Every structure is written in C-alpha cells, then in structure tokens.
C-alpha cells in the first residue's frame, strides 16, 4: 500500500513546535523574532505565497514586516530597502519573493541581503557554506523535501536519488542535502538524454521541473519514493482550475512506496521551514539559544 506523505500535517506539527519555542523566548523576556517579506509587483502566485507567509509568521507569534513595491520600482529603491532591513536590529530574516519583475537583477538583490538574515538560503555565502558542509541557512523547499522523504525512510543512505530540475531554489540545494544524507545523487534536466531511463533508476525521485504532470508511468519504477515539488494550475472543463504537480499522481501513485500529494505535500513544508530558518537566524545572530 502506498504511503501518502502528508506535508500539511507535518508542517502543522512543525509550526506548533516553532510557536511553542517562540512563546518560550517571549516569556523569558526576549523579543519576538521578526521576518521581513518583500513582494515586488503583482504576480498572482507570488501574492498568494506572500499572503500565506505573512499569516503563518503571525500565527507562530513572530513579527511580520511586509513591504509591497510596485512592479516598475527602480532596482536602486529595492536595494536601499534591503540595506535598511539589513541594518534594522529588529529584523531577523529577510525574504524577497521571486521571481522579480524583468528589469531587476535578482542576483544583485540576493547578494545585497545580509547572509545572517538570508532565510531563503540563496546568498552565495550560504550556498557555499551548504556545499562545504558548514552550518548555513538552507533553502526551505529542499529542506521540506528531505523531511518528507525521511517520513518514508528514516535512513536515506545508499539510495539513488534522481532530481529532475537544476534550479538554484530547489534542484541544486536538494542535491547537496541528499549528499549529506549519503544518497547517490543524479541531477537531470531539460537537456538530459533518456530522461525516463534516468528517472527509472531512482529509489528517490524528486520532481522540480515546473511542468504539469510531466513524469508518468515511464519515469517511476516500482517501489520508488516520489517527492513532487511542482505546483501547477491547470484549467478544468468547468472554467475553474485545479492544482497539479510535476508528477502524474493518478497514474503513478499505486506503484510507489511513498509519494507526496499536490496540494498538501511539499508546499506547506516550505513555509514551515522558512519559519524554522527565521528562528535559526534569530538565535545565531542574537546569541540566544532557541
Ligand atoms: N519563489 C518560489 N519559491 C520561492 C522561495 O522559496 N523563496 C522566494 N524568495 N521566492 C520563491
């Protein structure tokens, strides 16, 4: 029987634990951790994500600082805001929602964030520290994926993990985390030859492509653990829409040992890990054990 990896429930547990830790800090006279979220423009998906981040930050008792800027804002203005947030001692974490509008250089913005406040783990200092095996702030989505995979198998050592997608947000940091778990790691991408054949080698298959239901029967071997990072909106016949992953869940679920659903799998874990990273940043920067 396939194990459905319930990210919604696991994320709720994590948030409850974070809420308890924050309450303990505040009761001991420490300030509540503060998370600044910056949204530029009006991308509908980004608006939904940022709304959830702001709400859940407040729910665990942290301070949420929200900045919304117009799509045509000057890059200099955004960089100045990041500088102010870096200098603001009440801000422990800074997240600039991606993608940024055309005309703004995301790399420059990410590099402007103080690495100690970089709760996304996207700054080159954190990327380098992660790949060197040093303590780092680690990207939220891959962290959530590893936590979910470990619900299926406590010990991932020796598994062949195939990651489809090589983004800085998911694919590349995912590879680093799975190496730390002692997996054999393959990163496949749009130029890989024989993608189905590569995927069928996977004991642990991570789909982070951004194409609705792209991985199906031909890609998943019997008994694989499948982690689906995709969140794609597909129009339905009645003029509405539904969320689907990068994996054709209905076709492959039965043959898996374990699989994450969409929605309710990886998605909720990302925000829970963001809150956890904020607590880590708070505690390291201020020297307060949390
Ligand atoms: N856009 C999609 N995923 C993410 C994420 O994890 N962090 C940020 N900042 N933007 C995103």
**Helix or strand run (H / E) with residue 177:** helix 171-180
Q: Say whether 53 is catalytic.
A: yes
Mutate to test the pocket of ligand 1, among 45, 49, 174, 209 (most ligand atoms within 8 A of CB): 49
pLDDT in tens, 34-53: 999 999 999 999 999 999 99
Question: How confident is the model at residue 122, as a pLDDT?
Answer: 98
| For the chain, percent of residues with pLDDT exceeding 90 | 100
pLDDT in tens, 174-215: 999 999 999 999 999 999 999 999 999 999 999 999 999 999
* Nearest alpha carbon, ligand 1 atom 2: 98
For residue 17, give both structure tokens: 């634990």
Closest CA to 253 of 275, 234, 228, 233: 228
* Nearest alpha carbon, ligand 1 atom 1: 98
For ligand 1, residues with CB inside 6 Å are 95-98, 120, 140-141, 169, 270
- 97 CA → ligand 1 middle, Å: 5
With beta carbons less than 8 A apart as the criterion, state whether 226 and 260 touch.
yes
pLDDT in tens, 74-85: 999 999 999 999
CATH code for the structural domain at 140-268: 3.40.50.720
- 52 CA → ligand 1 middle, Å: 12
CATH architecture of 29-114: 3-Layer(aba) Sandwich (3.40)
Q: What is the mean pLDDT of residues 126-130?
A: 98
Closest ligand 1 atom to Cα of 46: 1
Closest ligand 1 atom to Cα of 141: 6
Closest ligand 1 atom to Cα of 270: 6
pTM confidence score: 0.97
pLDDT in tens, 251-263: 999 999 999 999 9
Closest ligand 1 atom to Cα of 96: 9
Q: Residue 74: which residues within 8 A CB-CB, separation 6 or more? A: none
Closest CA to 110 of 101, 120, 102, 43: 120
Full DSSP string of 69-86: E-TT--HHHHHHHHHHHH
Q: Say whether 97 is catalytic.
A: yes
Q: Say whether 228 is catalytic.
A: no
- 89 CA → ligand 1 middle, Å: 24
Closest CA to 92 of 123, 113, 71: 113
Spot the catalytic one: 120, 203, 248, 276.
120
Dihedral in degrees, nearest 10, Cα atoms 112, 116, 120, 124? 60
DSSP 168: T
- 1 CA → ligand 1 middle, Å: 33
Q: What is the mean pLDDT of residues 274-285?
A: 98
3-state secondary structure at position 197: helix
Domains of the chain, residue spans: 29-114, 140-268
Spot the catalytic one: 97, 176, 203, 246.
97
Question: How confident is the model at residue 290, as a pLDDT?
Answer: 84
Closest CA to 69 of 89, 88, 47: 47
Question: How confident is the model at residue 131, as a pLDDT?
Answer: 98
| For the chain, percent of residues with pLDDT exceeding 70 | 100
Length of the chain: 290
Confirm whether 29-114 and 140-268 share one CATH topology. Answer: yes
**Helix or strand run (H / E) with residue 259:** strand 258-259
Q: What is the mean pLDDT of residues 88-106?
A: 98
């Amino acid at each position: 029987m396939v194990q459905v990896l319930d990210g919604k429930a696991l994320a709720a547990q994590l948030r409850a634990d974070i809420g308890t830790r924050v309450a303990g800090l505040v009761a001991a006279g420490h300030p509540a951790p503060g998370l600044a979220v910056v949204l530029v423009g009006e991308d509908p998906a980004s608006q939904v994500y940022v709304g959830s981040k702001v709400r859940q930050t407040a729910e665990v008792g942290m301070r949420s600082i929200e900045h919304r800027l117009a799509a045509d804002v000057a890059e200099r203005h955004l960089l100045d805001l990041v500088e102010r947030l870096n200098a603001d001692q009440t801000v422990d974490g800074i997240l600039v929602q991606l993608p940024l509008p055309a005309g703004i250089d995301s790399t420059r913005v990410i590099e402007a964030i103080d690495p100690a406040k970089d709760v996304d783990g996207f700054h080159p200092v954190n990327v380098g520290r992660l790949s060197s095996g040093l303590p780092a702030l680690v990207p939220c989505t891959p962290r959530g994926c590893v936590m979910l995979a470990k619900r299926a198998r406590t010990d991932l050592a020796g598994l062949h993990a195939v990651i489809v997608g090589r983004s800085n947000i998911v694919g590349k940091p995912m590879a680093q985390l799975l190496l730390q778990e002692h997996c054999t790691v393959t990163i496949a991408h749009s130029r890989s030859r024989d993608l189905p054949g590569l995927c069928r080698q996977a004991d642990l298959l991570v789909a982070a492509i951004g194409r609705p239901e792209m991985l199906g029967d031909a890609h998943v071997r019997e008994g694989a653990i499948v982690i689906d990072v995709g969140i794609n909106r597909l129009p339905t016949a009645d003029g509405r829409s539904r969320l689907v992953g990068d994996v054709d869940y209905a076709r492959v679920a039965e043959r898996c040992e374990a699989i994450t659903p969409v929605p309710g799998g990886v998605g909720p874990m990302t925000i829970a890990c963001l809150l956890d990273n904020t607590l880590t940043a708070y505690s390291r920067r201020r020297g307060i054990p949390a």
